[in-house]
């Protein structure tokens, strides 16, 4: 067997473990979300606290306070250095963002896509149909707000139709109404700002500097623009934007 044909089982095992961990996290938080809804929590902060603490386990009788500590109580908040293996893993991130499941999306979105521009480009690359397929059951806890913030902060006139398609697909995902109601104040303002920008892009003249549609990259295409306006009007109601 040629040297290049040798399978790196260690790398495959790490990748599989990462996928299993991400999937377990998604299922755990989704179950916590359902429990919180059933308990009819009084506020978003309480709801968020329940979901974020879903990985914690209650102490058992055998657990002793002040005894020898071998395992951190909250491993998700423990500070630890970056090992050489982790540094190598980060440098081997795929250029293209191509998740095949919602768990893969959640994992890579949080692990690799740290900046707003990176997240925005990733959403454009996937497009509305792909995102709708990934999240047909449900958008992970807190993720809808992050998607809206990324779109609001970086939307461009040339991307207007693609962004509208993404918003329409997200609106068709499972439990969308619930996820929308759980947006934080900042996320809700970002959502409102996003639609304001989309509306401004449809105007014949920009309010800034009097740029024409051609200068904004919106060449006159009556049929396309009419469809965009119809979709935008529909989405304003779906996203409950005043």
Instruction: Please report the DSSP string for 159-191 in residue order.
Output: GHHHHHHHHHHHHTSTTHHHHHHT--HHHHHHH
Q: How many CA atoms lie within 13 A of 13 on its CB side?
A: 4
- pLDDT per position in the chain (242 positions), as tens? 455 557 777 777 777 887 788 777 777 777 777 777 777 666 666 666 666 666 655 545 554 545 454 544 454 444 454 444 444 343 344 456 789 999 889 888 988 888 999 999 999 999 999 999 999 988 877 899 999 999 999 999 999 999 999 999 999 999 999 999 999 999 999 999 999 999 998 755 444 444 444 444 444 455 667 888 999 999 999 999 97
What is the DSSP code (8-state) at residue 100? S
pLDDT at 214: 41
For residue 205, what are the β-bridge partners? 212
Instruction: Domain ranges for the chain, please list them.
Output: 8-53+94-238
CA distance 153 to 146: 11
CA distance 232 to 199: 8
pTM flag (> 0.75)? no
Q: Phi and psi of 115, rounded to 5°?
A: -95, 155
pLDDT at 46: 64
């Amino acid at each position: 067997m040629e040297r290049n044909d040798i399978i790196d089982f260690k790398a495959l095992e790490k990748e599989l473990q990462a996928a299993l961990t991400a999937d377990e996290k998604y299922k755990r938080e989704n179950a916590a979300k359902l429990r919180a809804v059933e308990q009819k929590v009084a506020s978003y902060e309480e709801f968020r606290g329940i979901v974020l603490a879903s990985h914690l386990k209650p102490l058992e009788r055998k657990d002793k306070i002040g005894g020898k500590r071998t395992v951190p109580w909250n491993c998700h908040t423990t500070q630890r250095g970056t090992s050489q293996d982790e540094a190598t893993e980060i440098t081997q991130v795929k250029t293209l963002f191509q998740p095949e499941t919602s768990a893969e999306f959640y994992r890579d979105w949080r692990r690799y896509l740290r900046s707003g521009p990176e997240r925005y480009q990733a959403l454009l690359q996937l497009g509305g149909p792909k995102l709708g397929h990934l999240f047909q059951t449900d958008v992970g806890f807190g993720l809808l707000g992050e998607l809206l913030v990324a779109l609001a902060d970086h939307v461009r006139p040339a991307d207007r139709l693609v962004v509208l398609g993404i918003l329409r697909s997200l609106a068709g995902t499972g439990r969308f109404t619930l996820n929308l109601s759980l947006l934080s104040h900042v996320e809700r303002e970002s959502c409102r700002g996003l639609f304001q920008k989309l509306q401004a892009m449809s105007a014949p003249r920009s309010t800034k500097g009097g740029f024409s549609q051609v200068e904004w990259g919106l060449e006159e295409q009556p049929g396309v623009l009419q469809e965009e306006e119809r979709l935008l009007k529909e989405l304003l109601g779906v996203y409950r934007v005043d």
